[in-house]
Amino acid sequence: MLAGCCLAGCASPGTPVPRHAIVPLAVSDLALHQVGDSLMLSFTLPTMSTDLQPLAEAPSVEIYRNAPQATPTASKKGKNKQPGNLVDTIPAEALDQYRNNGRIEFPVKLDPAELTASGTELTYTVRTRVSNAKPSGDSNPAALRVYRPPAAVQDLRAMLTQAALVLSWSAEAQAPSTGPESSARFEVFRAEVDPATAQAAINDPAGAKLLAPVILLAQTHQTEYRDSNFQFGHTYMYTVREVEHFGNESVESADSTPAVIIAMDVFAPAAPQGLEAVAVPGASGTPAAIELTWTISTETDLAGYNVYRSDQADRPGQKLNSELLLTPTFRDMPVVPGKEYFYRVAAVDQSGNESSLSSAVTAQVPEP
């Protein structure tokens, strides 16, 4: 009986049973695009093993490159074929710095000799692993023809206006391409900066803490862009890339020097219009007063109004209200019968900017 058990490969209770290595599923969405003199690899990390079980930890990444026309070579046992030359690795603990919108975006520096006007085709694959015993299968091969990139924009400027943040820059004249016919355009990128680092970011954009990943804001053939989709009180960081097309392929320059701007609302609203004054004589113990009305301001960030009174036509005089008026009306009382008064009104926005004064109106309560 004992011999039969041994022949059958029985194990005594408590004896560890060897388990096979955990192997992540292969990456299936590897993509490439060129930015300056680097190639950006983009892919989604696997979260499941080949046993369709969740991975307990993030895998490390191995990046392989095939030379043009190269074919994979087999190992001694004919298994686990090498997809090409191992050119870089990403340790699991370093992955977070390359995450962007759920994907890993990792730059690989290119050899200057590969960056020509005619283009050099490169092919990359990646593998992941959570065990030294066995990596994942090869990812989909991703191929791209790389070209000499356009020069990076060096003089990006940002200017605040009431309606838009206006970006402008210069473009260097590029040498005529010896490859396919090319055309250039620009891509504008934007990110919002944490207010706590806003002031420091103006002097050192590299130290800016971003509230969200950088987004592609617009594409243009001009060397100016007006960003009207902004909010006062926020801080923005912009970069620009020049993009040159070679047939159906394109090459982006490296990022421009960033431009950081705090969108502070320093723009006063328009002065109120239509101010009118009506004298109301006193009666039955009610003191005389002057009723003021004016047209409602259409400012979207209006906070209220201030009323000013003077006894001279060319002087603004003193402010009569202690708190902002929320409606376009005001009763000035008591007033001295027979005395002439001059009134002006100003609008105030939510940032505290006060408009210029309205045209003056005069009013006088008749003497009894």
Give the separation between CA 91 and CA 268, rounded to whole angstroms.
54
Residue 94 three-state SS: helix
What mean pLDDT do residues 64-81 have? 54
Q: What is the CATH number of domain 276-364?
A: 2.60.40.10
In percent, how much of the chain has pLDDT > 70? Answer: 87
109 Cβ contact partners less than 8 Å away, ≥ 6 residues apart: 37, 38
pLDDT at 278 over 90: yes
Q: Report yes or no: 316 and 310 within 8 Å, Cβ to Cβ.
A: yes
Same fold flag, 157-262 and 276-364: yes
What distance in Å separates the CA atoms of residue 95 and residue 90, rounded to the nearest whole number? 7
pLDDT band at 256 (very low <50, low <70, confident <90, very high): very high
Q: In this predicted structure, what is the pLDDT of residue 184?
A: 58
Whether 208 and 262 have beta carbons less than 8 Å apart is answered as: no
Higher-pLDDT residue of 19 and 38 is 38
**Mean pLDDT, residues 283-308 taken together:** 92
pLDDT in tens, 204-252: 888 889 998 899 999 999 999 999 999 999 999 999 999 988 878 888 9
C-alpha distance across the termini of the chain, in Å:
131
Which CATH code, of 2.40.50.140, 2.60.40.10, 3.30.70.270, 2.40.50.100, is assigned to 22-146? Answer: 2.60.40.10
- Domains of the chain, residue spans: 22-146, 157-262, 276-364
Query: Domain 157-262, what architecture?
Result: Sandwich (2.60)
**Residues near 274 by beta carbon (within 8 Å), at least 6 away in sequence:** 293, 294, 295
Preceding amide of 334 cis, omega within 30 = yes
Q: Which of 334, 341, 328 is nearest to 275 (CA)?
A: 328
Nearest to 355 by CA among 294, 293, 303: 303
The mean pLDDT of 186-197, rounded to a whole number, is 94
pTM: 0.72
The model's pLDDT over 102-128, given as tens digits with 9 standing for 90+, comes to 999 999 999 888 888 788 899 999 999
C-beta of residue 190 within 8 angstroms of C-beta of residue 237: yes
Mean per-residue pLDDT, 13-30? 76
CB 108 within 8 A of CB 41: yes
